[in-house]
Amino acid sequence: MTSQTFTDLGVPAPLVDVLAAQGKNEPFPIQADTLPDTLAGRDVLGRGKTGSGKTLAFSLPLVARLAAKTDRRRGRKPRALVLAPTRELANQIDEVIKPLAAAFGLVTTTVYGGVNQKRQVDALAAGVDILVACPGRLEDLIGQGFANLGDVEITVLDEADHMADLGFLPGVTRLLSRTPADGQRLLFSATLDNGVDKLVKRFLRNEVLHSVDEAHSHVAAMTHHVFAPADADAKKELVQTLASGTARRILFMRTKHQAKKLAKALTAAGIPSVDLHGNLSQPQRDRNLAAFGDGRAKVLVATDVAARGVHVDGVELVVHVDPPVEHKAYLHRSGRTARAGTAGDVVTIMLPEQRRDTLDILRKAKISATPQPVTPTSPEVVALVGEVAPYVKPEPVVVQPQGGGRSQGANAQRKRAARTPGQDAAAPAAGGGRRRRGRGGSGQGGEAPAASGHAPQGGRGQGQRSGAGRGQAGAGAQRAGAGAGRPQGAGRSASGTPTTGMVVGARSPRTNRRAQG
C-alpha cells in the first residue's frame, strides 16, 4: 500500500466519493504509479501481477477523462472501448466501471458472444459512452453495421497476454485499427510475449511503462502447498475435505466433464458447489458465478476458462485438483486468491505418476513447495480447512421414472392392496384389465379409472373405502382418498371438483397382475 490518496493523484472528487463508499481510500501500487500519466492523457503500458488492481487503474482515468470533456454528448457511438478476453472478465470490468460512470451520468454496456445479440444491439442504438467487449462479438456487430468505433477517444486492452494465448490478437489488431489514431491507449498485461510487444509498437505512441513486479511473479501473500495422496481413491477423499471449509474456494480441473461431475458430487455430499466451463451457456455461467459470489455456493469447480475471468473477493483457497499443463496457467489459476492485498493458499494435488511434470511446472513458475504425503486428517490439511469430519461416501441419487410419482405411503398402500383379498384387490369389472390414461380434472377422462374398478395410481383401493363416507358428490368422489400420497395431484376432490395435474390411470403389467390377485 501507499500513503498517497486518490485525491493526491488527481482523481476527481465525485469518483473519490464513489471509492470511499466502497471502502477504497488508498491506491494500490499499480494505481499510484499509472494514474498521474493516464489522467494526463498519456499512452500507458502497465504490467502487474494478477490481483494487483489493474481494473481500477484504467477505469478511473477512463471515466475521469470522458467526464472532463465540455462537449460531452450521448451519441450513437461509444467514446471509450475496453477489450477483454473472456465474458466473465468483461462483466466484472463493467461492474467496476458502472458506479464510477454513474457519478457523471455516463452509460456503459457489455458486448460478448454466447448470448442473443438483441440486447446488445438495442443498447448500442440507444447510445453508449463506455463499451466493454470481447473481440469476436464486437467484430460481428461492426460487420452487421450495429457498432462503430470512429468516435472512440480512449481504448483499453486488458490482459493482452491472455488475448494472445487465446488467439485473439488478429481480431484485436483489426479493432484497434478502427479506432482514431490520435486516441489515448492503455494496455495492461502480465507479460509482453506472444505478440503483445507487436501491439505495443504498432498502436501505442510515446508510451510510459509502469511495471510493479517481475513477469511471471506470484503474490507474496500467497502460500503454496503440494499434497501427494497415495492413489486416486485417497485423492478423492482429500478433494472433498479441502472443499468442505466455510470460506470460498475454487477447484480447478482440466476437463469440462470432470468439472461438472465433481461439482455434482460435492453438492450431493452436502457441499454447495457450482461449475464453470465452456459447455455452459452464458445465462448458466452468470447464475453460477452469482451463486458463488453471493455465498450460496462456497465452491466453484472450474476449468481454465475461469483462471483469468473470475475476480471474486474472499477466495481463500485455490486447489489444483488436476495440475495445469504449463506454468503460466498455474500462476493465473492461483491468482484467484490473495487478491488486492489479502492472503490466500494454493494447493496442488499430485499423484505419484504426476510428480515429474508437476515439479517442473512449479520450477518454471518459481514456486518453492515441498511435496507432502497427506491424508484428509493430516495436520497440513486440517490447518487449511479446520476440524475435519470423517469422509462419508455420497449416497446414490435415485431418480423416479417420469409419471411414477408415488410416495412411500402410496407404495405401501399398493403392496397391501395387492395382498388383501376382496374388494381392495378386485379385478376390473368393466375395463377388462385394459390400461388407460386419463387427464386429471377433465370430466369423463378423470372418471375412467373408477368405471373400470381401478383406483388411480398412488393409492389403490383406499378411495373406494373412503368414498361412501364422503357424500358421494359426483362419480369421481370414491377416489378422494387416492390423491393422498400422489405428488402430482390428480382426479377429483371429495366434492367432485376437478383438480389440476395429470391422472395416470396406466399401470405396468406387473402392477395389473398384482391388482387381479
- Give φ, ψ of 294 to 5 degrees: -95, 5
- Residue 464 resides in a domain: yes
Please say which residue of 184, 211, 238 terminates a domain: 211
6 occurs within a structural domain: no
pLDDT tens digit string along 450-461? 333 343 444 444
User: What are the Cα distances from residue 197, in Å, to 136, 349, 429, 457?
Assistant: 21, 35, 87, 71
CA dist 166 to 161, 169, 345, Å? 9, 8, 27
Query: What residue numbers bound the domain in which 446 lies?
Result: 408-515
User: Based on the domain organization, do 229 and 205 belong to the same domain?
Assistant: no
User: Last residue of a domain, which of 211, 242, 263?
Assistant: 211
Residue type, 485: G
Is residue 300 domain-shared with residue 165, that is, in the same domain?
no
* CATH number of the CATH domain containing 148: 3.40.50.300
Length of the chain: 517
Low-confidence ranges of the chain (pLDDT < 70): 1-2, 48-52, 70-75, 212-221, 306-311, 338-342, 386-517
Please report whether residue 77 resides in a domain.
Answer: yes
pLDDT, tens digit (0-9, with 9 covering 90-100), for 142-163: 999 999 999 999 999 998 888 8
d(CA 1, CA 380) in angstroms, rounded, equals 31
Q: Which residues are registered as beta bridge partners of 209?
A: 45
421 and 459 together in one domain: yes
370 with 415, same domain: the answer is no
Same domain, 167 and 227: no
Q: What cell was used for 61?
A: 482515468
Residue at 350 is within a domain? yes
369 and 296 fall within a common domain:
yes
Same domain for 231 and 165:
no
The reported pLDDT for the residue numbered 15 is: 97
Q: Is residue 431 part of a domain?
A: yes
474-477: long-range contacts at Cβ-Cβ below 8 A with a sequence spacing of 24 or more?
Answer: 475/447, 475/450, 475/451, 476/446, 476/447, 476/450
Helices (H), 374-420: 379-385, 408-419
Does 19 share its domain with 144? yes
Last residue of a domain, one of 148, 177, 211: 211
Phi, psi dihedrals of residue 25, rounded to the nearest 5°: -115, -20
User: What span, in angstroms and rounded, lies between the C-alpha atoms of 57 and 147?
Assistant: 26
The answer to whether residue 399 is domain-embedded is no
Q: Are residues 107 and 251 in the same domain?
A: no
Report the pLDDT value the prediction gives residue 502, as an integer from 0 to 100: 38
Residue 510: what pLDDT?
Answer: 41
Tell whether 458 is covered by a domain.
yes
pLDDT of residue 110: 97
> How far is it, in rounded angstroms, from Cα 433 to Cα 419?
18
Q: Could you tell me if 248 and 378 lie in one domain? A: yes
Statement to judge: residues 144 and 34 lie in one domain: yes
Domain count, the chain: 3
Per residue in 325-335, pLDDT (tens digit) is 888 888 888 87
Query: Phi and psi of 186, rounded to 5°?
Result: -120, 125
Residue 251 domain flag: yes
CA distance linking residue 187 with residue 416, whole number of Å = 75
Whether residue 115 sits in one domain with residue 21: yes
Q: Show the beta-strand stretches assigned E in 331-445.
A: 344-349, 371-373
